[in-house]
Structure 1
Amino acid sequence: MGRGKKLDLFIGAEIDDSWAEIQTLRKTTISKEILEPSKHFLYFSKEKRRGKTVTIVGEFLLSKNDKTTTLKMLKKKLGCGGAVKENFMEFQGELKEKLRPLLIDANYRIKNGH
């Protein structure tokens, strides 16, 4: 077979161009409800990023200003860096044991076992 010839194979599958279109779109609900600190149930998780540990706490359902002020206060007391990403606060280092009493003092509740 040369370079310019096309290979014509018939496998037996029928290819149809009639794609089914989804009529109803899926509606995801992201809670934009703002809760007071005593109604939050926070949990901790730990990730490794580029060989360093990051402690993630969440989910904070607060206004944007309250999230940034809470993050600022916690970073200052812990002496570490951090950021707010999608209602979760990320702190540099393994800080679960130091974060727990600070959050309890700020009237946040923490899920059992976390």
Structure 2
Amino acid sequence: MDLQEQLKKLFPDHEVSAEAEEVVETEHELYVQKEPMICKYEKRKGKATTIIEGYEGSDDDFKLLAKEIKTKLSVGGSFKDGAIIIQGDYRDKIMTILKEKGFKTKRIGG
């Protein structure tokens, strides 16, 4: 018994539509500030981390930016206390991503 047959038994009155639903994704505009964002390198517990600070917009926008950076670089990281923490030393790549989006960046450390 496949999934379609099981669904028909559970929901006998349901009719399957022939049209595929389209998911329209709108791109969210980030607030681009005049002051540069700080991109610094630290070692935490013996491991290299890149920290991005200094965003003046809302936390939701900063979280979206963090998610986009993590997916583009295929790395782990988090958003804590108004800073994006990326695992590894990716300052150069992060700075180019931010410059493409229109942000000014300032490199600090090492």
Report if TM-score (shorter chain) is over 0.5. yes
TM-score (norm 1): 0.62
* TM-score (normalised: structure 2): 0.64
1:92 equivalent in alignment to 2:110: no
Q: Which runs of 5+ in 2 are unaligned?
A: 1-29
Q: Pairwise mapping of residues 1-114 of structure 1 onto structure 2 (< 5 A)?
A: 36-111=31-106, 114=108
Q: Which one has the bigger helix percentage?
A: 2
Stretches of structure 1 lacking an aligned partner (at least 5 in a row): 1-34
- Aligned-residue sequence identity (percent) comes to 29
Aligned length: 79
Question: Which 4+ runs in 1 deviate beyond 3 A?
Answer: none
Query: CA-to-partner distance for each residue in 1:6-43, whole Å, 9 max, x for gaps?
Result: xxxxxxxxxxxxxxxxxxxxxxxxxxxxx931423112
RMSD (Å), alpha carbons? 1.8
Between structure 1 and structure 2, the one with the greater Rg is: 1
Q: State the SS of the aligned residue for 1:37.
A: coil
8 Å Cα contact 1:61-1:87 kept in structure 2: no
In structure 2, how many angstroms separate the alpha carbons of the residues matched to 1:85 and 1:59? 13
